[in-house]
Chains A and B, each alone.
Chain A
Amino acid sequence: MFIANIGKYFMFLGSLFVNRESFSTYFKLTIEECSLIGINSIILVAIVSSFMGAVTTLQTAYNLINPLIPDYVISLVVRDMTILELAPTIIAIIFAGKVGSSMAGGLGTMRITEQIDALEVMGINSSSYLVLPKVIASILMYPLLVILAGILSIMGGYLVGSLAGIISPTDYIYGIRFDFNEFTVMFALIKSFVFAFLVSTISSYKGFYTSGGALEVGIASTQAVTTSVIAILFADYFLAQLLL
């Protein structure tokens, strides 16, 4: 069953690239999806990442009680945790919950109300028409969300660190800049591309093959989130093993 599903998933991916419509059709749809996927996620990502940075700063400071460890280590830890893991991975899980469930729910509803059949009858490759713009938009927008999350998380840490008197602004900035390895940003971006692809394709796959009624649409949405999160965690491990 698992192997059959994997095979069906890859065939689904293959179907996205055959019998396509015109470039202008996809361009318009991709812009619409960018707005739905990216712009509509900004507030949630901003709130989550700001608090993530603030809490990481507080908890790192709480654990570094040795007077021999300089204060700037706090922001150094916040920086590396944010860039390497929190911004790309935790936000990917939020992304799967918000965008993935919406994709699966939307496509599932289209399936059970015969809207996908209507596209097929018109001679349109429904998987390509409906899913490809979502995948492209996710791959374009999710890395931008990760960059935003990284910046806001570090800023959240700065704000809380300064206001609570845990670390001086100068030390915080010094820690952020200390021994900075640019590859960590590249690593975070690679992860974000992979996670965006996984979330968008898995969620679309789950929604696209929904059968039954409203209950099954709900199940498809839940499965989309669960499977996406598991895939994100596996990919996270493999990418860390491979690239670091």
Chain B
Amino acid sequence: MIEIENIHKAYNGTPILNGISGKFEKGKTNLILGASGTGKSVLLKCIVGLTLPDEGKVLYDNREFTTANKTVKTEIRREIGMLFQGSALFDSKNVEQNVMFPLDILTKMPLDEKLDRVNFCLKRVGLEDTNKKMPSEISGGMKKRVGIARAIVNSSRYLFCDEPNSGLDPQTSILIDNLIKEITVEYDITTVVVTHDMNSVMEIGDNIMFLHKGNKLWEGNNDNITQSDVEELNDFVFANKMMRNLKKQSNAS
């Protein structure tokens, strides 16, 4: 489980996050939801340590991360897998080398064991026979799946996904969402997904934290998100005509 307590962050005097607290549970897909520019990615960066919060704490299974020394931080980081918005695959390495990278650096596994693990993870994300392809030769959806394979190859305990559906078609988005959900349950890991995609919310939102202008306005799950009385959340959820019509129909019945 990951806990965040009173996270504050400002850039050049402009507050981005105003005292965000919450819990991200193990074995569940925890979503950080909000419109663009609400501080979702900044919060994620604070949690994984890419940005230091001005105030507040991040605890990984009760291990303080924000103020920990380098050794502890590195130890925790080596249990983290992350899928970046643009996949962040290493351009100079092929798919196999990209997925094998954490094993090369962080373990002393023999090569055949590493290859077995890489092939297992690639198979798990549905990418057999792509080992020798370069990132420039595969589609956006495939890149995301390689990114997921790289994130789980080292048996990570925590999986972070920054807008995993950005730039993908709706069908591929659902595939990626389901893959994240399945992996979370299968490996019993703590998954945090930053998204603004309502399809993701409805598909995989076990725990949802809604941010608006740097504040946490609502917390719940995909079953009760449509019944919220938070105006900003309703504006976000029912932003499109189809959702508004559905709400009207539901109210009428």
Which A positions have Cβ atoms within 8 angstroms of B?
A: 18-19, 21, 25, 109, 113-115, 117-118, 120-124, 129
Contact = CB atoms under 8 A, between A and B. Distances in A.
B70 interface: yes
Contacts of A25: 104-105
Contacts of A19: 70, 74
B88 A113 contact: yes
A21 B105 contact: yes
Contacts of B77: 120-123
Contacts of B105: 21, 25, 122, 124, 129
B117 interface: no
A12 to B, nearest CB: 17
A30 B70 CA distance: 25
Interface stretch (B78-86, B212-220, B224-232): B78-86
Nearest to B48: A121
A65 B180 CA distance: 81
Given A19-B70, A21-B105, A117-B50, A122 B84 contact: no
Contacts of B160: 121
B88 A123 contact: no
Nearest to B77: A123
Given A21-B105, A114-B85, A114-B88, A120 B73 contact: no
Given A114-B88, A121-B160, 6 more contacts: A19-B74, A118-B90, A122-B78, A122-B102, A123-B73, A129-B105
Nearest to B156: A122
- Centre residue among A114, A123, A129 by max chain B CB count within 10 A: A123
A113 B86 contact: yes
B252 interface: no
A21 B108 CA distance: 12
B106 interface: yes
A123 B106 contact: yes
Contact of B90 (A21, A115, A117, A123): A115
Which of A18, A21, A109, A124 has the most chain B CB within a 10 Å cutoff? A124
Contacts of A123: 73-78, 80, 106
Contact of B84 (A21, A109, A118, A124): A118
B35 to A, nearest CB: 21
A242 to B, nearest CB: 38
A117 B88 contact: yes
A109 B77 CA distance: 23
A121 B86 contact: no
Interface string B147-161: 000000000000010
Given A114-B85, A114-B86, A114-B88, A120 B78 contact: no
A35 B91 CA distance: 18
Query: 5 nearest interchain CB pairs?
Result: A123-B77, A114-B88, A118-B88, A123-B74, A123-B78
Nearest to A28: B104
Contacts of A109: 91
Nearest to A115: B88
Nearest to B71: A19
Contacts of A114: 84-86, 88
A184 B127 CA distance: 59
A115 B89 CA distance: 7
Interface in B56-76: 70, 73-76
Contact of B82 (A21, A121, A124, A129): A121
A105 to B, nearest CB: 12
Contact of A122 (B73, B86, B89, B106): B106
A235 to B, nearest CB: 31
Contacts of B78: 122-123
25 contacts: A18-B70, A21-B105, A109-B91, A113-B91, A114-B88, A115-B90, A115-B91, A117-B50, A118-B82, A118-B88, A118-B90, A120-B50, A120-B77, A121-B48, A121-B50, A122-B77, A122-B105, A122-B106, A123-B73, A123-B74, A123-B75, A123-B77, A123-B78, A123-B106, A129-B105
